[in-house]
């Protein structure tokens, strides 16, 4: 559902209206819950799974949140953020182990940690 929203195959309202039409179909209730949790900002199935797991536990992070410094300069974009708690959740796929990526990830984390202390 996240991908359908991301690639504009359907709108959020269209998705909800579509699953609302499922009444006597097995899995209709789960489809309605899933449609209510769908978010087109997700960039991978793994991010979607993490966000939904958190939401089902009563925690609602902001997907693809941009971290900015005190002068409103871009620092990083995190997969999921709990803004008021100043906490990020990242899903590290296998591409994070490609040459040079681990160093870039560390630099980004160091910059984000410095912001948390400001």
3-state secondary structure (DSSP) of residue 67: strand
Buried b (16+ CB within 10 A) or exposed e, 43-57: beeebbebbbeeeee
pLDDT given for residue 54 in this prediction? 96
> Which helix (DSSP H) or strand (DSSP E) does residue 42 occupy?
none
Please check whether residue 47 is in contact with residue 63, taking contact to mean a CB–CB distance below 8 angstroms. yes
Structure letter (DSSP) for residue 86: T
The encoded tokens of residue 72 equal 């409103």
Q: pLDDT confidence of 99, banded at 50, 70, 90?
A: confident
Q: Under a CB-based contact definition with an 8 Å cutoff, are residues 113 and 67 in contact?
A: no
- In sequence order, which residues have a C-beta less than 8 Å from that of residue 115 and are 6 or more positions away? 67, 69, 70, 75
Indicate the pTM of the whole model.
0.71
Please provide the average confidence, as pLDDT, over all residues in the chain.
Answer: 85
Confidence of residue 24 (pLDDT cuts 50, 70, 90): confident
pLDDT computed for residue 94 by the predictor = 62
């Amino acid at each position: 559902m996240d991908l359908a929203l991301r690639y504009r195959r359907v709108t959020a309202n269209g998705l909800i209206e579509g699953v609302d039409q499922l009444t006597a179909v097995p899995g209709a209730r789960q489809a309605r819950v899933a449609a209510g949790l769908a978010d087109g900002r997700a960039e991978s199935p793994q991010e979607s799974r993490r966000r939904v797991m958190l939401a089902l536990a009563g925690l609602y992070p902001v997907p693809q949140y941009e971290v900015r410094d005190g002068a409103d300069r871009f620092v990083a974009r995190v997969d999921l953020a709990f803004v008021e708690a100043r906490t990020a959740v990242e899903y590290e796929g296998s591409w994070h182990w490609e040459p040079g990526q681990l160093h870039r990830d560390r630099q980004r984390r160091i910059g984000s940690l410095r912001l948390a202390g400001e």
